């Protein structure tokens, strides 16, 4: 949807969940020398000025990344989950809030490749400028759902894919499920992160989550962060958004312990009245793998 701008929600609770997990996964993949491909199907502008523009209208960052920084600033680094420390190391030093493309650009190595899709013409121009100085990074003004198919499987046989549509259009839920199914068919061993909203007005997010967890028989997990009171979200600007989640396919085995440590910390920081979190982990590997 070309009217949607991620800047309205930059740095909010959904971004905090999504970006902490993305940072963990990208840094994990970088532990091996072999190059990998990062694909962002709905990249947005790439980075966002929280002090003005669209981000200033909803100010979601004040109950998201700002709350996280506030709590982390009151305790020692050793008391803060390492996942949070890693994430904040990129946000604290940035002139603007780094979206997923900016985080990938900071973390990935010269030998790795970044391909980001964005259909909105204005956001695409900003994204292109952000990535223009990296020879291994590319912005494409095209449909990320369609573009994903052409990139899988990657020559390196290593990839991280973030699927993060706006869900402003009802058929985004169906498109996401179809795109994931096709991606898994082409490259079942890739690392995939699929974000979804939790809305009071419909159960589409929960339905998508259940479908995503059921369509793959390999290692997978689901992590949710509840950031609002469902009773109070009815009639709000976001249509009753009370939280969000990620389904992750082929997650790093070390992510389980990281989630157990990180999700309670995030919920305590960014959830209204400490509404909570949820996690489901299905892993066929032994802990030693």
Kindly list the distances between the CA atom of residue 222 and the CA atoms of 82, 235, 279, in Å, as whole numbers in the listed order: 20, 27, 6
CB 220 within 8 A of CB 188: no
Bridge pairing between strands 97-98 and 47-48 = antiparallel
Copy the structure tokens of residue 74.
């009151």
Alpha carbons 146 and 175: distance in angstroms, whole number: 10
Alpha carbons 233 and 199: distance in angstroms, whole number: 9
Copy the structure tokens of residue 201.
């007005």
Whether 164 is catalytic is: yes
Active-site entry in 164, 210, 229, 268: 164
65 Rama sector, left if φ>0, alpha if ψ -120 to 50, beta otherwise: alpha
N-to-C CA span, the chain: 42
**Angle between the 204-214 and 171-186 helix axes, to the nearest 10 degrees?**
10
SS3 content of the chain, % helix, strand, coil (to 5): 45, 20, 35
**Catalytically annotated residues:** 164
């Amino acid at each position: 949807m070309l009217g949607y701008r991620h800047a309205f929600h930059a740095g909010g609770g959904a971004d905090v969940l999504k970006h902490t997990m993305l940072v963990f996964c990208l840094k994990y993949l970088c532990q091996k020398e072999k190059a990998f491909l990062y694909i962002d199907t709905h990249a947005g502008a790439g980075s966002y000025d929280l002090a003005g523009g669209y981000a200033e209208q909803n100010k979601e960052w004040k109950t998201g990344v700002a709350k996280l920084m506030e709590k982390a600033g009151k305790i020692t680094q050793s008391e803060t989950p390492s996942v949070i420390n890693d994430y904040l190391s990129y946000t604290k030093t940035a002139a603007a809030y780094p979206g997923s493309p900016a985080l990938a650009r900071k973390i990935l190595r010269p030998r790795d490749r970044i391909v980001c899709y964005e259909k909105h013409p204005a956001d695409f121009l900003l994204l292109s400028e952000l990535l223009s100085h990296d020879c291994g990074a590319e912005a494409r003004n095209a449909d990320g759902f369609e573009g994903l198919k052409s990139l899988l499987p990657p020559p390196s046989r290593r990839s991280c894919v973030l699927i993060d549509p706006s869900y402003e259009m009802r058929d985004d839920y169906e498109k996401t499920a179809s795109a994931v199914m096709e991606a898994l068919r082409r490259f079942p061993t890739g690392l995939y992160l699929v974000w979804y909203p939790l809305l009071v007005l419909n159960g589409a997010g929960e339905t998508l989550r259940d479908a995503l967890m059921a369509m793959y028989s390999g290692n997978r997990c689901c992590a949710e962060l509840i950031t609002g009171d469902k009773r109070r979200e009815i009639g709000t600007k976001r249509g009753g958004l009370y939280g969000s989640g990620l389904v992750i396919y082929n997650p790093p085995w070390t992510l389980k312990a990281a989630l157990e440590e990180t999700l309670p910390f995030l919920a305590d920081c960014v959830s209204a009245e400490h509404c909570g979190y949820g996690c489901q982990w299905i892993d066929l590997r032994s802990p030693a793998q």
